[in-house]
Chains A and B, each alone.
Chain A
Amino acid sequence: MELSESVQRGLRTLANASVFDGTSFQALVDVSFWSLLSRQGDPAVLDQPELKHIDQILVKRAHTAAATFILEAVKHNADSSTLSSCLEELSFSAERTEIINGIYQTHKKELDSLLASIGRCPPRVNDVSWRLQYHMKNGHVDKVNEPFYSISLSTENEGALEDIDFTCTVEQLQDLVGKLKDAAKSVEKASQM
């Protein structure tokens, strides 16, 4: 896990017991997690009574660094040992490392889902219903006599249900099934590397 110069400096400030004493350290760490996890950005998030006596620029720097550090750790899926070694390098005391680690572990799931919510996801297929139909004739041709499938995929995207309906001939259906089998096989192959 690489950290940039400014983040490292901010974290060192945070680790410095002469700048952030016990209560203000706890308050800042809490605020950093909370500000990332809360639904809306609150400009007054740093107006905590515990942080009043510290230079606001230092507080803001430390807050930025802590938020960046947390996000990077989640991005790398860092476990507690990696986190601790990283914090120790930045001259955090064992007690403070423990505090950060504890809060990190309790919020890891939420942070994971926060990061996972960035991006796009195709709708997932929940179910499928099908019907085999027979096309006998139409306005132009008297004798068509072809079977065709009408398929309805019930999909789910971001919690919203949606049906995708289409019809296809037997060959097209076979093609689709072949493609699906291919996909399943490639996923299996990817899991056996």
Chain B
Amino acid sequence: MEEVDRILIHTLKQTGTQVSEEIDSVKQFSSELIVEAVVRCIRVIDPGLGSTLPTSIPPGMSARFRVGMSLAQACQDIGYKGEIGYQTFLYSNEPEIRSLLMFLVEKLPRECAEASDQPTGKLVVLQRLITAAIKAQLSVPWLPSNCRLPLHGETKSSAALHSFRVQPLSLPHYTKGAGKMQLKGGFPPVKDYQQDILPPVTAQPSSHASVVASILEQHTAELTAAQEWENEWNSQGLLSRLTPQDYCSRKLSRLRKRIQEQLRSAALASSESANGCHYSTPDLSELLQTFKSPAPPDIILTKGTHFTHTQKYTFTRDVVAVTSPISAGHQLESDTQDHQQVLTCFQQQAQQLSSDVDQLIIDMKNMSVTHTQVLHELKQREQGNSEKEEKMQLKKKTISLMPDADKNLLQLQLLVEASVKRVVNLASQWEKHRAPLIDEHRRLKELCSNQDLESSRKLLEIKSLHDKIRVSTEETKKKEEIYKQLVTELENLPQDATRSAYTLRILEIVSNIKKQKEEITKILSDTKQLQKEINSLTGKLDRTFAVTDEMVFKDAKKDESVRKSYKYLAALHENCNQLIQTIEDTGTILREIRDLEEQIETENDNKTVSNLEKILDDYKDIRQENSALAAKVREG
């Protein structure tokens, strides 16, 4: 019974019942504890049913009675077949409570056990970690602030805090593929810069506090970008049947076009609506220029105004940029006036020069246009010249042929005929060549379409393979995590729950039961044998008696002494019968006595006396309550 009780108490603790450590058998359960245990079990089994039940016994007697009744009803609703009533809870006896608790524990759903087997995601693991951390922090005793030592791990209060500030980092990037390698080779300055000038990442941010944040941010950005690309490539990129680079460049150009259109329309709208606002249009057109990826230089040249504008803009900005540190330096020496003058002078000069440059550029453009025009004219003239020379030569020939006209005519006719024949010949030859070529063409076309089909099929295959790979990697990851988690759980598990010990115990019990069964069968067979013997003996007795009776009866008619002996015989038989009867009676009485003794024992076990006393007390309580209520009613 101890085993059973321990298992019961363990399960009850799992359902949330507060069983104190000293209690290790059902015998020690108080009625409060019983009520709490039963209610918690019912709540787990059937939350709807259990939510109406209180976990503690109210002090009033009648209320207690009602709680007991409702609990008994609930247990019967769940399906408890045994005898149950309010007395089970209020005036408990051990076996009843044990059987009730065993029933309830068996009824408990196994979900709680299964839930822990289910794979837990990252989130759950994180939550568990957080829980463990909070628990650890809660278990640390509170200390007054001046008793706190630095080794208590109070990092937060001592170290200065920085906000999460991110600065972009410049990294020596990896080249992707051979094409870009060449491009890199074309920009040796970039390489030189990366090699010699570029500071290491930890020195790049202006304040050292943002180093960590920047690096983490950079890494996360890269990761998410890679994921995004993966997703897009799997969903759309593969179907477009392009190489990744082509897909990227196409998407880039599409995006550029869209932005360009948007900006253009916006710029047009704004320039139409607000004439006073000069700045927006040139800026936007500059933007547009930058978006035209490898824009040919002619376009910029033809849009002279834009070009000059940008030039002027950048130029002045440069001047400002160059002068500002100088002026700043001289401000400290407080003789700014001279330098201001010099500066304005320079600025004016610079502006003059830039306008000169503009003028010169425009002139150059004009010149180049005229130059090309002149060149064009020259070419035309030369062409006309050569045409005229050809005509002249033809005419010369005809003139030379004129004297011998007839003969020449004939020759010409012959020539014409021959050429006609040749044409016909060539046509037939062409036909001959054409047919196989057309066939070839058709064949190739078919091949092409076949290959198209094949490639699309393969694409589909690739896609499905990709999906499979993804799914299986996810699965492996998940399984690995589960494995890790299970291993940690196994480590964390208390070592007292020894399954093998339980099974050993169960096996022992089973073998014991087997032995007992054998003994019982042996005793049973013994009893049967005895019964048989008794039966045969009684049969023998009856028969011998009958025979003797007959013989003696025959003689008894003749002889007086024999008659006497017959009477004795009858009396003897009767007496013996009586004796047997008495023995049997004593046997049954003994059995009854034993039964009664057992009953008395069980009744003693049921704490009948104490329970009766309790019932009496409770009865008094109820009467008191009733009288108090009656008095209240009367007062009211």
State the A residues within 8 Å of B (CB): 2-7, 9, 35-36, 38-43, 45-46, 55-57, 60-61, 63-64, 67-68, 71-72, 75, 77, 112-121, 124, 126-127, 156-159, 187-188, 190-193
Contact B159 A113 (CB under 8 A): yes
Mask: chain B, 144-163; 1 = CB below 8 Å from A; 0 = not: 11000000000111111111
Residue among B128, B129, B218 with most chain A CB within 10 A: B218
Which listed residue (A41, A57, A187) contacts B195, Cβ 8 A?
A57
* Distance, CA A180 to CA B487, complexed state (A): 39
Distance in Å: Cβ of A5 to nearest Cβ of chain B: 6
Q: Binding site of B, secondary structure by majority: helix, strand, loop or mixed?
A: helix
State the B residues within 8 Å of A (CB): 127-131, 134-135, 138, 144-145, 155-164, 171-174, 191, 194-196, 198-205, 208-209, 211-213, 215-216, 218-219, 222-223, 226
Contact A71 B216 (CB under 8 A): yes
- Are A5 and B195 also in contact (CB < 8 A) when A41-B202, A114-B212, A119-B164 are? no
Closest to A81 in B: B484
- Are A191 and B202 also in contact (CB < 8 A) when A67-B215, A113-B159 are? no
Contact A57 B215 (CB under 8 A): no
Contact A56 B223 (CB under 8 A): no
Contact B194 A156 (CB under 8 A): no
Contact B211 A41 (CB under 8 A): yes
Complex interface: chain A residues within 8 A of B218 (CB): 68
Contact B162 A5 (CB under 8 A): no
* Distance, CA A36 to CA B145, complexed state (A): 31
Enumerate 22 A-B pairs (CB-CB under 8 Å) in ascending A order: A4-B226, A35-B200, A41-B203, A41-B205, A42-B202, A43-B199, A46-B200, A57-B194, A60-B172, A60-B198, A60-B201, A63-B200, A64-B171, A67-B202, A67-B215, A68-B215, A118-B213, A124-B157, A126-B145, A159-B160, A187-B134, A187-B138
Distance in Å: Cβ of B122 to nearest Cβ of chain A: 11
Complex interface: chain B residues within 8 A of A64 (CB): 171-172, 200-201, 215
Complex interface: chain A residues within 8 A of B223 (CB): 2-4
Residue among B144, B194, B219 with most chain A CB within 10 A: B219
Distance in Å: Cβ of B592 to nearest Cβ of chain A: 59
Complex interface: chain A residues within 8 A of B162 (CB): 117-119
- Are A156 and B145 also in contact (CB < 8 A) when A6-B222, A71-B216 are? yes
Contact B222 A4 (CB under 8 A): yes
Complex interface: chain A residues within 8 A of B204 (CB): 41
Closest to B221 in A: A4
- Taking A3-B219, A75-B216 as known contacts, 15 extra A-B pairs with beta carbons closer than 8 A to each other, sorted by chain A number, are A35-B202, A36-B202, A39-B208, A41-B211, A56-B195, A61-B171, A64-B171, A118-B164, A121-B156, A121-B157, A158-B157, A191-B131, A191-B134, A191-B135, A191-B138
Contact A190 B157 (CB under 8 A): no
Distance in Å: Cβ of B145 to nearest Cβ of chain A: 4
- Are A43 and B203 also in contact (CB < 8 A) when A57-B172, A57-B191 are? yes
- Are A6 and B131 also in contact (CB < 8 A) when A67-B202, A118-B161, A191-B138 are? no
Complex interface: chain B residues within 8 A of A159 (CB): 157-158, 160
Contact B161 A190 (CB under 8 A): no
* Distance, CA A61 to CA B226, complexed state (A): 19
- Are A113 and B155 also in contact (CB < 8 A) when A36-B211, A56-B195 are? yes
Distance in Å: Cβ of A36 to nearest Cβ of chain B: 6
Which listed residue (B129, B130, B202, B216) contacts A190, Cβ 8 A?
B130
Closest to A7 in B: B219
Contact A5 B156 (CB under 8 A): no
Which 8 pairs between the two chains have the least Cβ-Cβ distance?
Answer: A41-B203, A4-B222, A35-B202, A126-B145, A191-B134, A113-B155, A43-B203, A43-B199
- Are A43 and B200 also in contact (CB < 8 A) when A115-B212, A159-B157, A159-B158 are? yes
Closest to B204 in A: A41
Complex interface: chain B residues within 8 A of A35 (CB): 200, 202-203
* Distance, CA A140 to CA B134, complexed state (A): 51
* Distance, CA A117 to CA B216, complexed state (A): 14
- Are A71 and B173 also in contact (CB < 8 A) when A118-B162, A158-B160, A190-B130 are? no
Complex interface: chain A residues within 8 A of B201 (CB): 60, 63-64, 67
Contact A116 B155 (CB under 8 A): yes
- Are A42 and B158 also in contact (CB < 8 A) when A57-B191, A114-B212, A127-B144 are? no
Distance in Å: Cβ of B391 to nearest Cβ of chain A: 70
* Distance, CA A65 to CA B145, complexed state (A): 41
Complex interface: chain B residues within 8 A of A63 (CB): 200-202
Complex interface: chain A residues within 8 A of B135 (CB): 191-192
Complex interface: chain B residues within 8 A of A5 (CB): 222, 226
* Distance, CA A118 to CA B129, complexed state (A): 20
Contact A116 B156 (CB under 8 A): yes
Complex interface: chain A residues within 8 A of B144 (CB): 126-127
Closest to A59 in B: B200
- Are A4 and B219 also in contact (CB < 8 A) when A57-B191, A60-B172 are? yes
- Are A118 and B159 also in contact (CB < 8 A) when A6-B171, A6-B222 are? no
Contact B159 A193 (CB under 8 A): no
Complex interface: chain A residues within 8 A of B205 (CB): 41
* Distance, CA A71 to CA B220, complexed state (A): 12
Complex interface: chain B residues within 8 A of A45 (CB): 200, 202-203
Contact A116 B127 (CB under 8 A): no
Complex interface: chain B residues within 8 A of A38 (CB): 208
* Distance, CA A192 to CA B173, complexed state (A): 47
Complex interface: chain B residues within 8 A of A113 (CB): 155, 159
Complex interface: chain A residues within 8 A of B203 (CB): 35, 41-43, 45
* Distance, CA A191 to CA B129, complexed state (A): 10
Complex interface: chain A residues within 8 A of B215 (CB): 64, 67-68, 71
- Are A117 and B138 also in contact (CB < 8 A) when A60-B198, A64-B201 are? no
Which listed residue (A40, A115, A156, A188) contacts B208, Cβ 8 A?
A40
Contact B163 A118 (CB under 8 A): yes
Complex interface: chain B residues within 8 A of A116 (CB): 155-156, 159
Contact A6 B174 (CB under 8 A): yes
Closest to B194 in A: A57
Complex interface: chain B residues within 8 A of A61 (CB): 171-172, 174
* Distance, CA A68 to CA B196, complexed state (A): 22
* Distance, CA A82 to CA B13, complexed state (A): 36
Which listed residue (A55, A56, A68, A156) contacts B157, Cβ 8 A?
A156
Distance in Å: Cβ of B172 to nearest Cβ of chain A: 5
Complex interface: chain B residues within 8 A of A55 (CB): 195
Complex interface: chain B residues within 8 A of A46 (CB): 200
* Distance, CA A36 to CA B161, complexed state (A): 16
Closest to A111 in B: B212
Distance in Å: Cβ of B153 to nearest Cβ of chain A: 9
Contact A9 B174 (CB under 8 A): yes
